[in-house]
Amino acid sequence: MLILIFLFILGFFILIKSADLVIRGSSSISRYLGISEWLIGVVIVGIGTSLPELAINVGSAFAGTPVGVGTILGSNIFNFLGILGMVSFMSPVHMRKEWVKIDLPLNIAIIVVTGLFLLWNGGGIVRSEAIILFILFIAWMYYMVRRKDDDFVQPHQEKSDTIAWHISGLLILTGLAGVFLGSNWIISGAEKIANLAGLSQGLISLTIISLGTSVPEIAVSLRAIMKKNSAIAVGNLIGSNIFDLIGIFGITGILINIPMPQMFKFDLLFLLITSLIFTIFIFIGKKYTISRWQGLVLILAYIMYLILISIRG
């Protein structure tokens, strides 16, 4: 037990330090190549921090358990409410007009499409549906790479901070490796503690595992907002959610059909409502800004969600 606790704490330490490497390398590459930090945050960091969910989803589908779907839904809800709530409570998050007009509606549309596939024909995603999701993922990737944004260099950043591109790439890879190593230790410890408590697989996947696999996003987003970098702090979460739904479900569903337990219908609906609430918040008060009080509301909404699913069991 002492070793388990030690690895659990060490995992968090590694995550924080590794997140710094990811942010520094990503910011440097964006300046070196003259591309948007939003693109870096959404595509590179967002997908990179979602690889733990991909591994769990594939393994869960082959094992015939509901853990994979629960992890994806729980992680998406936590990203919108828990992490964005913490980030905006620490420091108001300023959203660019392009992100609000393009990326958030796109994310909502993807939730709707994926949700329909999960509920169609008795529940679950079959190979034909997975192929469609994967094609959407490739199209989204192509669009993001071709897209032009105005946030090439943030005002607080200096060109002198830019380091060589190969060193920046090494920092990102090293940081992501550390993030995954740390998150693995955290997930392992959390799962064992949950199993000892006698919790159901569905509840474990929606809470312990989804929170554990979201630890990379937590580390990256919190460290990014401390550095006043909203592009990576928010882009990482949006990219992670989109990749979770069309990338992970697409890849996994091509390999094997994904089961969709009826109990997750509520969580799927809650995810859609959550994304709509977040979008509405952007237009309340100061436009395109998530304030501290709104961040607190998001956190409280997530606590309410945890209470509801705990009662459900």
**160 against 89, higher pLDDT:** 89
Give me the domains of the chain, ranges plus CATH numbers.
37-149+198-312 (1.20.1420.30)
- Give the angle 271-217-155 at the CA atoms, nearest 5°: 110
* DSSP 8-state secondary structure symbol assigned to residue 21: H
**248 against 286, higher pLDDT:** 248
Phi, psi of 159 (to 5 degrees): -60, -30
Dihedral in degrees, nearest 10, Cα atoms 260, 262, 268, 269: 150
pLDDT at residue number 193 = 64
pLDDT surpassing 90 at residue 267: yes
3-state helix vs strand vs coil in the chain, percent to 5 = 80, 0, 15
Tokens coding 305: 């969600």
Tokens coding 278: 């977040």
Q: How far apart are CA 17 and CA 21, in angstroms?
A: 7
Q: How far apart are CA 205 and CA 244, in angstroms?
A: 14
The string of pLDDT tens digits covering residues 158-203 is 444 456 666 777 877 887 787 667 666 666 666 676 677 777 778 8
Q: What is the CA radius of gyration of the chain?
A: 18
pLDDT surpassing 50 at residue 25: yes
The string of pLDDT tens digits covering residues 199-249 is 777 888 788 878 877 877 887 788 788 878 777 788 878 888 998 999 999
Closest CA to 245 of 140, 161, 169: 140
Q: Could you give the angle at which helices 2-33 and 215-226 cross, rounded to 10 degrees? A: 50
Q: What is the mean pLDDT of residues 240-263?
A: 90
pTM: 0.78
Phi, psi of 58 (to 5 degrees): -65, -50
- Residue that the structure tokens 């909502």 belong to: 108
Closest CA to 53 of 182, 215, 198: 215
Q: What is the mean pLDDT of residues 254-261?
A: 90
- Residue that the structure tokens 């996003």 belong to: 217
